[in-house]
Chain A
Amino acid sequence: MGDLLARYDILGAFLMTIKISLAAGLLALVLGTLLAVFRLSPVPVLRAFGSTYVNLVRNTPLTLLVTFAQFGLLSLLNWHLANQSSPTSVADDNFRWGVLALGGYTAAFVCEALRSGVNTIPVGQAEAARSIGLTFTQTLREVVLPQAFRASIAPLGSTFIAMIKNSTVLSVIGVAEIAFLQSRIIDENADQLYTIMAIVALGFVILTLPLGMGATALSKRLAVKR
């Protein structure tokens, strides 16, 4: 095992997994919140957009989205997200499209987690907010979303754990994260199959276990008492 760790940059690959997760997670959180606001808004066009996005994206395999981003948008249409003159432009482009696909995919789940949180809030909360003169946006920002986030911490935790594990899908477009490295190591060291798999599994447990426990603890601590 020490031999594997010395010959391959396993830590670096895990760092890439973390980088993908942070970037895609942030994107998913922002986009997912926006989608949830759309789905709750009184404007029919926004509502339709929100639900179409969620239903379309949530029901498409992530692998398809990721490969579509890379082959369909990047390679065929030449939509670059990275600076073409940079020496790492190919890797950067793959990374960014990968993050976009993973973040956009996870956003649909974030939206639904938030919406389930919103559904736990009695309608009277928003009515009271409106009746003291808060606008629609203020009502969301001050009253509905803060309570929805608290009620959604546990499902959001599960969503982000799933996202971290889903980041391995980016190996199909050659992003140098841990699953990508894993298949390379297995190719070159078939005898060490169990070792490498154990290392990867352990790595994911280290990444996701604290997240799950943190989410549970936080959701208990921040739970809104009624």
Chain B
Amino acid sequence: MNTGPEQSAVTSRAPLVVLDKVNKHFGDLHVLKDIDLTVGEGEVVVLIGPSGSGKSTLCRTINRLETFESGSITIDGKPLPEEGKELARLRSDVGMVFQSFNLFAHKTILENVTLGPIKVRGMKKAEAEQRAKELLDRVGVGHQAGKYPAQLSGGQQQRVAIARSLAMDPKVMLFDEPTSALDPEMINEVLDVMTRLAKTGMTMIVVTHEMGFARKAADRVVFMADGQLVEQATPEEFFTNPRSERAKDFLGKILTH
């Protein structure tokens, strides 16, 4: 991996998510190759790279929706445990927002947001609902609380998904291409919510090709290709002056259209 001077900017923050030599295979396919990545508290990292480079897998490995074979991942100093109750508890500290929203289809918007606080945190129903309404207001869908996910637009659903994650008071939030399933006119409403979230000091790892968001909200861009972290830099530096051939090639492709 190319470790440049920008790494020193990271060390000024307390490390929150630390990946150390993480390796993962899907059968014969080596999807994550010796991944070292440290994300500091309050830092916003944008993960970018060609299709199939392993970005989703990396995200999913951080909250162990995928297993990995070697290396270690710690969240706030605690290593991820094996599958079980302990893992479930630790996972609730890591919010995840999916490309396809994945709201619980049989529950109302309000129930989607209160489920975790009630079942995982043991919060009282009334308190959880109060909190959920505040969060739904914050992402601008408070008036839809009684509806079902299918009755909402994609952009609204994704904002509810963000509220659902926030309801768990996560230490870090992962976003896997949160806007790529959306119609163009809905992308900004979601990016706006994310940008505001970044400003509140939330630690975020965001897989996205939205360069506007990266420039506005990210502290660092990490470029991934073929299962490796190839290059990392500030957004400005990365987009104007990429160093590796892979990154130049990739940016050339996404910038031309």
Contact = CB atoms under 8 A, between A and B. Distances in A.
A binds B: yes
Interface in B100-147: 100, 102-106, 115-116, 119-120
A127 B98 CA distance: 9
B65 A130 contact: yes
B75 to A, nearest CB: 13
Contacts, number: 79
B232 interface: no
Given A131-B94, A132-B120, A134-B120, A146 B165 contact: no
* Interface footprint category on A: 20 to 34
Given A143-B104, A225-B148, A132 B165 contact: yes
Contacts of B149: 226
B88 A125 contact: no
A135 interface: yes
B168 A132 contact: yes
A132 B102 contact: no
A129 interface: yes
Contact of A135 (B85, B151, B165): B85
A146 B148 CA distance: 15
Contact of A128 (B92, B102, B119): B102
Looking at chain A's contact residues, the main secondary structure is: helix
B14 interface: no
Contact of A130 (B85, B91, B95, B100): B91
A225 B88 CA distance: 28
A125 B161 CA distance: 12
B88 A147 contact: no
A225 B150 CA distance: 6
Contacts of B63: 131
A133 B120 contact: yes
Contact of B88 (A127, A135, A142): A135
B165 A42 contact: no
A81 B217 CA distance: 70
Contact of A125 (B94, B105, B148): B105
Interface residues of B, number: 32
B30 interface: no
Given A127-B65, A226-B150, A133 B102 contact: no
Contacts of A143: 104, 106
Interface in A16-67: 42
B98 A224 contact: no
A135 B100 CA distance: 22
A134 B88 contact: yes
A96 interface: no
A87 interface: no
Given A131-B96, A132-B164, 13 more contacts: A124-B102, A127-B96, A127-B98, A128-B164, A130-B65, A131-B91, A132-B95, A132-B165, A133-B88, A134-B119, A138-B119, A146-B106, A147-B105
16 contacts: A124-B100, A125-B102, A125-B104, A128-B103, A128-B164, A129-B104, A131-B165, A132-B95, A132-B120, A132-B164, A133-B120, A134-B88, A134-B119, A138-B119, A142-B115, A224-B105
Interface of B: 63, 65, 83-85, 88-89, 91-96, 98, 100, 102-106, 115-116, 119-120, 148-151, 161, 164-165, 168
